[in-house]
Amino acid sequence: GAPASFFARARCVHTKHGANAMPERRRRLARTAARFCAAYVAVSETTAAQARRDRDVAGAKLLTIENGIDLSRFAPSDAARAAARAALALPPHAFVVGTVGRLVREKNQAALVRAMAPLLSSTVRLVVVGDGEERAAIERAVAALEGKAAFVSLLGARGDTPRLYAAFDVFALSSDS
């Protein structure tokens, strides 16, 4: 896309979200493509340091814009917790582990299902919010729970995720990347 932006006289901005291990040939191609970018934005100073170390882009194009979340939207509230749990048919006193994200291989929610398996019960629940190409694999992992599948909620894509976080006691991120 970066070389195409050059020929289209459009500005290209690349975002870097991690170390992105890759073979040297692919890294050389990525560095070449980066020359066509107007800006190369790292989402953390650690990621920017990796880009500098790996010489991913000329230093003048490298910027850091930290990932940011307005935490006030997620302030603890007994009323919000009760409402979210009622909407999801979760017991008020259960311990709820939740995750929200794209259901893709690198996020590895199926590993989270397997890791939670020994703990799942009427008082320990897992909530998975999101959709994607790995949904069937996650459904298979849930089906393999031998009597514990009822303690896992697969909610699919939702437009109200900020409200759902209130139902969680713990947010789990099983991402491989």
Give per-residue pLDDT as tens, 41-90. 999 999 999 999 988 998 899 999 988 877 788 888 999 999 999 999 99
Instruction: Tell me, yes or no, if the pTM score tops 0.95.
Output: no
Scanning the structure block, which residue is given the tokens 């896992």? 152
Percent of the chain with pLDDT over 70: 99
Q: What is the DSSP string of 55-71?
A: T-S-GGGEEE------G
Q: Could you tell me if 27 and 51 are in contact, meaning their C-beta atoms sit under 8 angstroms apart?
A: no
User: Which contacts of 55-58 are long-range, i.e. CB under 8 A and separated by 24 or more positions?
Assistant: 55/31, 56/16, 56/27, 56/30, 56/31, 57/14, 57/31, 58/34
The secondary element (H helix, E strand) that includes residue 41 is strand 39-42
Q: Which residues pair with 127 in a beta bridge?
A: 98, 153
Q: pLDDT band for position 136 (50/70/90)?
A: very high
The strand pairing partners of 39, in sequence order, are 13
Mean pLDDT, rounded, for 83-111: 96
Q: Reduced to 3 states, what is the DSSP secondary structure of residue 96? A: strand
Mean pLDDT computed over 22-50: 90
One-letter amino acid at 95 equals: F
**pLDDT number for residue 17:** 85
Mean pLDDT of the chain: 92
Q: What is the rounded distance in angstroms from the CA atom of residue 48 to the CA atom of residue 43?
A: 8
What is the Cα–Cα distance from 151 to 91, expressed in whole angstroms? 11
